[in-house]
Amino acid sequence: MSLSGDAVVTFGLKGSADIIGIMEGGRFVAIEVKSKHGRQRPDQVRFQAMLERFGGLYILARSVGDVDEAFAAIGRRR
C-alpha cells in the first residue's frame, strides 16, 4: 500500500492473504485476491501450504464467483 506515493507500508505475516477470517465452528479462512492472470508469490504459496496443513481454508479468488464456489463446496461436504 502506498500512502504518499513513495512510502510503502506492509503489515501482517509475509505472504498472508488479502482477506482473513474465522468461519462458524472456528475454521480459519484466507482469501487471496488475484487478477485474471495474477500469480501467487513464493511467500504466498508457502502461506497457503502452512494454512492448509493446519486445517484452514485457502481460497485463490479471481472473482466473487470463486469465493461462492469454495463456500458452496464446503456446504456440500457437510
Query: pLDDT by residue for the chain (78 residues), tens digit each?
Result: 445 567 767 777 889 999 999 999 999 999 999 999 999 999 999 999 999 999 999 999 999 999 999 999 988 776
Whether residue 30 contacts residue 23, with contact meaning beta carbons closer than 8 Å, is answered with: no
- Residue 21: the pLDDT is 96
- Residue 2: the pLDDT is 47
